[in-house]
Every structure is written in structure tokens, then in C-alpha cells.
Amino acid sequence: MRVSKSLFAIALGAAIAATSYAQAEDKIVVGFSQIGAESEWRTANTNDVKAAAERAGVELKFSDAQQKQENQIRAIRSFISQKVDVIGFVPIVETGWDNVLRQAKQANIPVVVMDRDLKVSDESLYVAKIGTDQVEEGRKAFRWIDDYITKNNIKPRNGGDTINIVILEGTVGASAAVGRSKGFNEALAASPNKDKYKILASQTGDFTRQKGQEVMESFLKNYRDDIDVLFSQNDDMALGAIQAIEAAGLKPSKDIVIVGADAVKGMFQAMIDGKANATIECNPLQGDLFFETCKKILAGESVPKSVYVEEGVFDTTNAAEAFPTRKY
């Protein structure tokens, strides 16, 4: 329940000097718009948000947008009319948020963004963002591939001059896809070995296992004997692609080097089973920091404009050891 109304969070460099937005009467109420349940990662993220809300003693109004931006916008409008204390959301795509966030600002409800980045015309339309560095994840993916190919002296399967890479991209317009592509291309361009690589094909698989499998099937139809490396922008698509690769009579991780992103348990199992090579972690456990940030904002404390959670890189050299301690 909102009982007081003081305005404005002002971004100063990396940190926000916040005046108090609202005092909760009893329990803080947070409205949260999640994208949906497209991946193992997303399910872990949703479970973490719900568990963290309980730990924080916050009342959570959770809304599942079923992969549609218009559903997220509708949910945010409904949170505004319900006068929640804080609005949280994961932007399914980067753009198209200005109007609804302006409405939240006019209603003096602070907005905290989770996981993905967004592009707004006015940075004060949201107070803080907790997420992961998706451009860096893309860089890490290419660097891992470059290192592995070089150290193991891997040659093109088709006897040609280039190591051929195919890419399964995430949801079109999502920062997790845009950022990972950007980072990957940046690291490739910066590599002294850049002329050794060729991106044969790159297409969206929507971050889902089924689409990952379908798109990999079409890559294999066109380039079965040419593909050396798959970079899948999430693990679910990689796991779908592994099925397509096996169905095409090839050995995943041996004939085609497979690198995913997320570091979910399914991908650890694939690495342990010798069917995948590496995964770049994208940490979904952002709930505690999210609710801590909500509380600070409501208390008028300063919070950083943007915080990235910690992430690692896992491959077949450390997967089995790390697996028992994995939380998602």
C-alpha cells in the first residue's frame, strides 16, 4: 500500500541519489512482469524471484506475459492502477517502453528493471537495473571458441581454409540476443586469428529448445559437412541443436564444437555426457538483489543505476566438479 508521495530519482553517474518514493504501510507490494517460460533459465529466474520475495517479506504480484510485449505493457498499466509500491519487469525487447514507463513515473511508482537491458529516451524512466552483462557474455563465447580451436589445433572439417561457425540467436530485439551478437562479433574482430573464422549462418531460435532444434536442422540441411562450431545464444537452443546434430549422424562436441550460454543444469549434463563443450554463465539468481534494491529505493537510499551479477565460464574441464553445487 502506498501512503506517501515524494518524487524523483536522479541519475548521477553510476549511482542514483533517491528521495523517498513511498513508505509501505505494512508489507511492500511489488508488481513484477516476467516474459514467460521460454527456457530452463527463465524458469530458474521466476522461481528465484518468487522465493526471494518471500525471503524479503514482500507481497509479489506476478504476471506472466507469455512472450508478448503488449501483455507486459498491459501488466505494468494494471500495476499502476493497483498503486503497487514498486514495479519490476524483464523487458522482452529493448525498445517500446517509453509511454508506459512515463505513466509509471507520473504515478510516482519507481521501476526496477531485471535481467535484460532496455533503450529509453529518458534514463529517469526507470530507477535501477539488475542484470547481466550480455555483451561480455558474447565476448566470452568467442574467446572460449578461439582459445579452444587454437589450443587443440582444430582444422576445418571440409578441408577448407576457414573454421565455419553457425549461430543460434535469441529472441529478435532482445538485449540478450543483441548484446551477445555484439560481443561475439567484437571479440572476433579483435582476435589475431580473425581470418581463420567464417560465420556461415546466423538465425533466431527464439531462445527455445524446439526452435533451436528446427533451425539447426535447416543449418545442417544446407551445410552438414561444413559446420565446425555452433554458438547458441542460450543452452536450451543448444540442447535442441544437439538432437538435430545427432539425427544428422554427427557427433556433437566432436564433429561440431558446441558453446551455449546460461550454464543451466541441462547443459552441464550435456557436457558431462560429452555432447557439449562449454557454456557461458548468465546468472538468473537476481531476486535477492532486486528486492534489496526495491527496499532501498522506498527508503530513499541511493542505489546504483545498473548492477551486473557475477558469472563464470564452464566447460568439460570443470563441469563435473561444479555440477553438484549448481543451483539452477
Which positions lie near ligand AHR, rule CB under 6 A? 38-39, 41-42, 115-116, 176, 207, 234, 236, 261-262, 282
- 29 or 166: CB nearest ligand AHR: 166
Give CA–CA dist 115/98, Å, rounded. Answer: 18
Burial (CB count within 10 angstroms: exposed 0-12, middle 13-18, buried 19+), residue 325: exposed
CB burial of 139-171 (b: ≥16 within 10 Å; e: otherwise) equals bbbbbbbbebbeeeeeebbeeeeebbbbbbbbb
Q: Output the smallest distance, CB 178 to ligand AHR, in A.
A: 11
Q: Output the smallest distance, CB 44 to ligand AHR, in A.
A: 9
Query: Is the four-CA dihedral 71, 7, 21, 94 of positive or negative sign?
Result: positive
- Written as one letter, the residue type at 114 is M
- 164 or 286: CB nearest ligand AHR: 286
- 110 or 131: CB nearest ligand AHR: 131
Q: Output the smallest distance, CB 222 to ligand AHR, in A.
A: 26
- 33 or 164: CB nearest ligand AHR: 33
Cell 563465447 locates to 141
Q: Output the smallest distance, CB 209 to ligand AHR, in A.
A: 10
Q: Output the smallest distance, CB 311 to ligand AHR, in A.
A: 11
Strands 313-315 and 86-89 come out as: unpaired
Give CA–CA dist 113/243, Å, rounded. Answer: 35
